[in-house]
Amino acid sequence: MLTWVIRRDLLLAVRRQADVLTTLFFFIIVVSLFPLGVGPEMNTLRIMAPGIVWVAALLASMLSLGRMFSNDYLDGTLEQILLSPTSLSLLVLGKMLSHWLITGVPLVLMAPVLGIQYDLPFSALVVLTLSLLLGTPILSLIGAIGAALTLGLRGGGVLVSLLVLPLYIPVLIFGAGAVEASTAGLGFEAHFSLLGAFLLVSLVFAPWATAASLRISME
Amino acid sequence: MSINWYKYASPASFYFLAGRMIPYFSIAAIVLLIVGLYIGFFVAPTDFQQGEAYRIIFIHVPAAWMSMFLYVVMAFWAGIGLAFNTRLSSMMATAIAPTGAMFTFIALWTGAWWGKPMWGTWWVWDARLTSELILFFLYIGFMSLQAAIDDPRRADKAGAIIALVGVVNIPIIYFSVQWWNTLHQGASVSIAQSPKMATAMLAGMLIMALAVWMYSIAMILMRARTIILERERHTAWVAELKGITR
Amino acid sequence: MLQGSNLECARGDRVLFSGINFSIKPGELMQVRGPNGSGKTSLLRMLCGLTVPSSGEINWNGTSIRSLGADYFSMITYLGHLSGVKDDLTAIENLRITSALAGVAIDEKIAYEALQKMGLEERETLLAKVLSQGQKRRVALARLILVNTKLWILDEPLTALDVSAIELIKNIIERYLAQGGMVILTTHQEIDISATVTHQLYLS
C-alpha cells in the first residue's frame, strides 16, 4: 500500500519535472545570493557556509510543502485516501517519504556542489551532505503536519512557514552544528546521534499527527 | 473538593461564573502590581554589581515565567478540547494565546532594556532570550492558524494539534538552543542570578509573579467571555442576556 | 443496514438540515433530493464518515460508524463530485491506483477490461488531461465494477455523462442492487433505476 502511494507520487513528479526543478533551483539561487550580500571574502564565507546551506534547505523544503496535499485535495483524491481501509497514518507516511524523495534528495545531492562555492574542505563537504541526508527527512515529516493543517486556507503558503519554521530550529542547529564541529576538529557524532533521534521521534509521531490534521481539515 | 465541575463546563454557566470572578482577580492584580513595583523599584536594595538597572527583573522574570507556563496551559486546554470535544476548553485555549504572546513580548522587550546598560547591546543571542523568541513565534503561529480558519470548530481542533506539537517540541527546542549557545560560547545572560537575593528582592519578585498570575486570570476570563458571546450569539440564553442588560 | 437517526448538519451558525431519519437495507436504493445548497453533499460526506454530524447518529448494523472506523471504509465506496482522477496519469494508472487505495489491487489486464466495459476503448493509455469531462467521469466510475463493497455512496454520478453512459451506469447500479448492494445517490437528472425499494429523501 505504502509503495502504491510512493510510486504514484514519483510517477507524478516525473511527469511534472518542473515542480521538482523549481525547488532545487530555489535552493541553488538562495545559497548563491549570500556571497553577493556579504561580500566574497572566503574566510567569512567558509564560516557561514553550513548555516547558509542549511537555512536554504529549510526554506526550499518548506516552499514545496504546499504541493504535498493540495493537488490531491483539489482533484478529490484526498477524500479517497481518507476513505481507504488502509491506515491513514501509513498512507500519509508514504506521502511524506515521496515528498522527501522528490524534494529532499535533490537538495542532498546538490549540497556538495554548493559547498565548493564556499570553499569548504572535503571532510566538511562529506559531513554537510550526510547531515542533510539525515536531516531533510525530518523536514518532510514535520512539515507535513503544517501542510495538512493549512490545507485549503487563504494564504496557506505563508501560514505554513509560521507554523513549521520554528519547529525546524533543532534540525537546523544540529545539522549546521555537525559541519561546524567537524571543521573545528571536534567530533560530530553527537550531532548525528541527535539528528537520528529526532528522525525516529518524528517518524513515530508525525504521520499520526498529520493524519489527525487531515481529518480535521477535510471536515 | 466536592464541587460539581460539570456545572461550570457549559459555556452559559461559565459565562456568569467568570463574570462574578473577574472583579476580584482584577483588583488583586492591580493591588499586587502596585505593591510589587513599589518594593521592586523603591524598597529593594541596589545591586552592588548591576546598579539600578537590575530592577527590570521584577518585570522581566515574572513575565518570562508566565509566558512559558501559559503555553503549557494553553496546550493542555486545547488538548482536552480535542480529546473530549468540549467546546469550553478550546475557547479557553484561544483566550490564553494573546496573553501568553504578550508576556513573551514583554520578556523580550525588558530583556533588551536590561541588556543595553549591562553589555551595551540591545540583543544578545543568549539561550534564554533565544528560546523566548522562539516561544513568541510559536504563539504567533497558533494565533495566525486560528485566525485563518473560518469554521470555529476546525480552528479549535487545528489549533490544538499545533499547540500539542509545539508543547512536545519546546523541551527539544530549549535543549538544542542551549547546546547551540554553549557550543558558540555566546554571552550568558542570567538576569535573576544573584547568589544572595535580599529578602526584599525575593518578596518583590514573588509579589510580582502573583500579580502577573492574577492579571492573566482576569484577562483570560474576560477574553473567554467575549469568545463565548461571539460563538453562542444565536442561542437562547445570549438573546435573553441582551434583554436584561439593555 | 445503514441507519441515520436525527442527523443534523451545521455549517458555522447556519443549520443546513436537521432531524433527518432514514434506514436502508440490502437491495435498496435511496435518492437524496433537494435544491442547491440544501446539504446533499454534506449529508453524503457525513454518511461516508468524512464529517461528523453536529447531532444524531449513523449506525451500520447497529454499530456507530465512528467506532467501526477503517472497517466501515472497507464496506463502502464513495464517489464525490470531484472524480479523484489525476490529469498526469493515464486512465489505467488512475484506475489501478484508486482501486489499490480502496483495498483492491488489480493488474493491468483487469483494469483494461473494466475501462473497456465503461466504453473507453483506445483511451486506456492516454493521459487523463486529454480526456473529456465525461470520459474522466467514466474512469472514476469504472471503479464501481471492480470493488467489492456493500454500500455505494454516489454524489452526482451522472454529471457530464452522455445518454449511453447514463444507461451504462443505470445498468451497473441495477445489477448491483439485484445482488443485494445498497446505493445512496444524489442526482439532478430524472433517472429511473429499478430497485426493490426506493427511498426518497428530501432536503429543503
Q: Which three cell numbers stand for residue C14?
A: 447556519
B4 domain residue, yes or no: no
Question: In Å, how far from its chain's centre is CA C84?
Answer: 12
Q: Which of C50, C76, C85 sits opposite A79 (nearest CB)?
A: C50
- State whether A173 and B138 contact (CB < 8 Å): no
- How much of chain B, in percent, has pLDDT values that exceed 70? 88
- Which of chain C's residues have a Cβ under 8 Å away from the Cβ of A77? 84, 86, 98
Which residue type does B135 have? L
| Domain range annotation of chain C | 2-75+149-202, 88-143
| Beta strand pairing call for C28-33 and C14-24 | unpaired
What's the gap in Å between the CA of C76 and the closest CA on chain A? Answer: 9
- Per-residue burial over C67-84, b if 16 or more Cβ lie within 10 Å, else e, is ebeeebbbbbbbbbebbb
B7 domain residue, yes or no: no
- State whether A166 and B148 contact (CB < 8 Å): no
- The pLDDT, as a whole number, for residue B246 is 41
- The pLDDT, as a whole number, for residue A152 is 86
Number of domains, chain B: 1
Give the gyration radius of chain B's Cα atoms.
Answer: 20
Q: Using a CB–CB cutoff of 8 Å, tell me whether C48 touches chain A.
A: yes
pLDDT digits (tens, 9 = 90+) for C27-81: 999 999 888 888 899 999 999 999 988 889 999 999 999 898 889 999 999 998 8
Q: Return all residues near C179 (Cβ < 8 A) that are at least 6 apart.
A: none
Residue of B nearest to C12 (CA): B151
B13 domain residue, yes or no: no
B58 domain residue, yes or no: yes
- Give the residue among C196, C201, C96 at the shortest CA–CA distance from C143: C96
Q: Using a CB–CB cutoff of 8 Å, tell me whether A11 touches chain C.
A: yes
β-partners of residue C30 are C184, C199
- Which of chain B's residues have a Cβ under 8 Å away from the Cβ of C8? none
% helix, strand, coil for chain A, step of 5: 85, 0, 15
Q: Determine the topology of domain C2-75+149-202 in CATH.
A: Rossmann fold (3.40.50)
pLDDT tens sequence for chain C (204 residues): 899 999 998 877 788 888 999 999 999 999 998 888 888 999 999 999 999 888 899 999 999 998 988 899 999 999 988 888 898 999 999 999 989 888 888 888 888 888 988 888 888 888 888 988 889 999 999 999 888 899 999 998 888 888 888 989 999 999 999 999 999 999 887 778 888 888 888 887
B8 domain residue, yes or no: no
- Which of chain B's residues have a Cβ under 8 Å away from the Cβ of C12? 150-152
Residue C154's H or E segment, with its range, is strand C151-155
CA distances from B230 to B9, B11, B101, B143, B224 (A): 17, 11, 22, 17, 10
Strand ranges (E), C12-133: 14-24, 28-33, 55-60, 63-64, 76-79
Residues spanned by the domain of B157: 20-44+53-245
- Which of chain B's residues have a Cβ under 8 Å away from the Cβ of A181? 183
Burial class (CB in 10 A: 0-12, 13-18, 19+), A87: middle
C-alpha–C-alpha distance, residues B139 and B74, integer Å:
10
- ipTM above threshold 0.85: yes
CA distances from A192 to A58, A134, A164, B126, C127 (A): 17, 8, 22, 24, 44
Q: Which of B148, B151, B177 sits opposite A154 (nearest CB)?
A: B148
Which of A162-166, A211-215, B21-25, C127-131 comes out lowest in average pLDDT?
A: C127-131
B137 domain residue, yes or no: yes
